[in-house]
Amino acid sequence: MEREKCCERMTSVTFRLLRKADEPELKTLLKEQLFDVPSYMLALLNNTMCHVVWAAVGLLCGFASHSVLFGLSALFLTPFLVFAVLSVGFKLSIDKYLNDIQTGVYDYWTTENRALWVAVYGGHIVGSTAICKKDDRSAEIQRVVTDVRMRGKGIARRLLRMASKGAKDMGVRTLTLHTSHPLKAAITLYRSEGFQQISETKVFGGLLTVFGFTKQIDDFG
């Protein structure tokens, strides 16, 4: 039933391993959409610590200028300013984090221990999922992303299953992955594909929670 629903939703999307010619489009997709910046920023701004900080900024501005209006303006503008500054900083740090973008996506993902699958629609790359072998028996799922215009059609689920099958063919017994609390869609997807949460780590002073998930090869559907 699930499989039928998947196929019905994307008859014209094809799935295959990465090719050299995919490199420019894949680079753009990873760079622009792998990190869901708005979700990260909203989760950050929705944190109690941030509420306290910008309430303090509002009050300080109000007292310093002896103007309620100025204080209120500062109170409402601070989140937008913080959002803008953090978004720019986040975007700038993404390139540094993605070492495949630095070295060349194709070369990076076509080694003995790594593989990346793409979804293609209308001749364009609209999704990706990769595996990176950590040792003889385990591999990490990485680079899970679907183009924002193609989400909700079952593309990531299909890619995840291809990557799982690919890992199995490589002799892998255990799949692992990491995600974080703002990425609700990804968390729902991983749980629905049978991944189980095994760790929870607070980073950046508790602003972000990183989850570790795992799935045994025997569970593959």
Kindly list the residues in this chain that would bind ligand COA in the complex (CB under 6 A): 33-34, 36, 144-146, 151-157, 179, 183-186, 188-189, 192
Amino acid at 68: V
DSSP state of 172: -
Task: Please name the residue that has the structure tokens 């303006």.
Answer: 73
- For the CB of residue 150, give the shortest distance to ligand COA in the complex, in Å: 7
Contact between residue 96 and residue 86 where contact means Cβ atoms under 8 Å apart: no
Q: Which is nearer to ligand COA, 2 or 136 (CB)?
A: 2
Rounded to 5°, the CA angle 199-167-109 comes to: 95
Cα separation, 131 vs 193, in Å, equals 16
Around 27, how many Cα atoms within 13 Å sit in the side-chain half-sphere?
A: 16
- Say how many C-beta atoms besides its own lie within 10 A of residue 176's C-beta: 17
Q: Which is nearer to ligand COA, 54 or 213 (CB)?
A: 213
- For the CB of residue 103, give the shortest distance to ligand COA in the complex, in Å: 20
- For the CB of residue 56, give the shortest distance to ligand COA in the complex, in Å: 32
Q: What residues have CB less than 8 Å from 176, skipping those under 6 apart?
A: 134, 138, 139, 140, 141, 212, 213, 214
- For the CB of residue 145, give the shortest distance to ligand COA in the complex, in Å: 4
Q: Which is nearer to ligand COA, 57 or 131 (CB)?
A: 131
- For the CB of residue 106, give the shortest distance to ligand COA in the complex, in Å: 21
Q: Which is nearer to ligand COA, 58 or 154 (CB)?
A: 154
- Say how many C-beta atoms besides its own lie within 10 A of residue 162's C-beta: 19
Q: Which is nearer to ligand COA, 33 or 176 (CB)?
A: 33
Question: Nearest 10 degrees: CA dihedral of 96, 101, 102, 103?
Answer: 150
- For the CB of residue 179, give the shortest distance to ligand COA in the complex, in Å: 4
Q: Which is nearer to ligand COA, 155 or 163 (CB)?
A: 155
